[in-house]
Amino acid sequence: MDTRYDLKPLFVEWLQEEFDSFGPRQEKIASVYFKALESLKVYEQLVTEPSQLLKVKGIGNSIKNKLTNRLKKHCDELNIPYPEVELPPSTSTTKTRIRTLDVSGLDESGTVKKKKRKYVPRKRSGAFAILLAMLELGSPSTGLTKEEIITVAAKYCDSSFLPNPSTREFHSAWSSIKVLIDHSLVLEQGRPRRYIITEEGVTLAETLKDTVNVSFPVDCIYNRKKQDENAVSDEQEVSANLSELMRQDRVGSVSMGATLTTAERSIASAITTPDLHASETITSSSPKRTLPRTLDRPRSQMDGVVRARWNGTSYEVWEPENYDIRLFVDHREVRSKADRDFFVSSLCARNVCSEGKVLALGDMVWVARNKETGKHCVLNFLLERKRLDDLSLSIKDNRFMEQKHRLKKTGCKHIFYLVEETSGLEIGGMEDAIRTSIWMTTIYNSFHIKRTKNVTDTVDWLTSMTDSIKKYYNNKCLLVLKPLDVCSQEDYGNMLNNFRDQFERDGSRLECCHSYESFQEVLGKTDMMTVKELYIRALMLTRGVSLEKALAIQSKYPTLYEFLVAYSKCKSEEEGRTMVYSALSEQPGSQKIGKALSETLWNTFGKK
């Protein structure tokens, strides 16, 4: 083939074939090839070899390499020479270096593979703060909880670790934990979730610490570990020097005082002094060793916490003098949009230790805080607050039943339903329904009902209630469950009941309760729910389906799949509208499904 032959018609033909091969879902890449094709058609110069394609607008290395491969295949099929690049004549003896393309660095399409950059978090970002916090906390083998990490990480980050829906900030700095897990810098395990930093994560965290000149507290776990490692290293070095010295001394090759440091000479004197007692003599094979400060005594004695295991589950015992009591208020529980911190500020003004938190369940919960470790556990007192108008709406849309069901699953012994009967609220003729619901909540659910006139009356009652709870726990020891892996909320409830049966006997001062981390993780609205529970919740989203009715439907159709299959087998729409009504016609009154509700279920789950 003549090297001056214009290859443009061939390249245009092949580009057209490539463009025609793209399907409707490949619009983006098709548009790239279309622009390259149009540019090549109007290109005025000769194209005698593939490298000239890079001069055409819209053609890059990827398209050029693909056309080059087509040209080589075309030349092989016709048994003609491949067009070589003609180098311009040179009058000098300067050597021309031609860079060869490393085939191993190409992907299947012939383009150069991009090198994957090593992930490094931005300074004072969420990932940056999490890595430094886990490094400072020493990354124990059992892992760290979310609460433990963000307590330390907050000072290393410019963003908040708590979402704030009121300002439409639904994501927080904690979302960066997913990036660290994806890059294998942090491992996630167990339920409640615990996080472990990997060796790569430790290396990156130490690099960030040194690069940004971050200083950890002197008494933090990371610094104590470093001191202990240095101490052991120094002892090993001294021991090695002594062994070498005594070996040389036995053959008379060197005198003892010639090579020893001051610290080593003091130990060597104990070896060579003849008038020491035998019990004070230290041999080279077993030098005296001082234990690090953190290993002098068991940890349970250091912070006043007894740690043990029973039936495969870890737990801690807190003595009454080792904890104090405070009130956590859900930060979404507000007086008004303009006064979001009313409850926390009002309670603090009355000398009630309170904090705004994002609670997984309930509006207010009393917790105990360990004075030494700073960890929290949830006491057996939980409160759900409702204004009268909100209560009437929750009864209408079935949220009231669903909330009571979830509150019952906490296992808390004392659950309060506080109703604010503020005057002037519209309840839409729901007086009888409200009275019936409150009565059933007291009798059947064993909840405590408290009625207040307004928010000020609510704060006064919370203050007196907190004082009563403090007196109740004045002489009680807390047994705090610390499970590492829980399968479901039901399993956790059974675990709590087993502990109570074992430890809360007559005359016992012990009271079993959740750790705050377990309460948040296990008892969330959707976390740790079984398929059955999610199915019942889906049924209860239909207006008019109470918990009793949902359980009746579930007993007839055990899974959502079977429920949908039953609808699909209906021969007519009329049969589908009455299917549930007919199937549950013999159920007792509270579990019966009327024709209207049966039609609503058909419209929701069965109608196509």
Q: Which residues are catalytic?
A: 390
| Residues contacting 570, CB < 8 A, separation 6+ | 576, 579, 606
| Cα–Cα dist 541/516, whole Å | 29
Per the CB < 8 A criterion, the answer to whether 283 and 239 are in contact is no
Measured in whole angstroms, the distance separating CA 35 from the mean position of its chain's CA atoms is: 45
Is the dihedral angle over the CA atoms 604, 606, 607, 608 positive or is it negative?
Answer: positive
| Residues contacting 606, CB < 8 A, separation 6+ | 564, 567, 568, 570, 576, 579
Per the CB < 8 A criterion, the answer to whether 407 and 523 are in contact is no
Residue 192, preceding peptide bond in cis (omega within 30° of 0) = yes
H helices within 154-261, ranges in order?
177-182, 199-212, 221-250
Q: Which two tokens stand for residue 460?
A: 């006064």
Q: Which two tokens stand for residue 317?
A: 């015992």
H helices within 365-488, ranges in order?
388-396, 399-408, 431-443, 455-472
H helices within 82-197, ranges in order?
126-136, 146-153, 177-182
| Cα–Cα dist 320/316, whole Å | 13
Judged by DSSP in three states, 559 sits in coil
| Cα–Cα dist 551/566, whole Å | 17
* CA within 13 Å, CB half, 118: 6
| Cα–Cα dist 264/395, whole Å | 80
Phi, psi of 369 (to 5 degrees): -115, 125
């703060």: which residue's tokens? 129
| Cα–Cα dist 423/406, whole Å | 29
* CA within 13 Å, CB half, 382: 26
Judged by DSSP in three states, 566 sits in helix
Is the dihedral angle over the CA atoms 24, 29, 34, 37 positive or is it negative?
Answer: negative
Q: Which two tokens stand for residue 490?
A: 């039901």
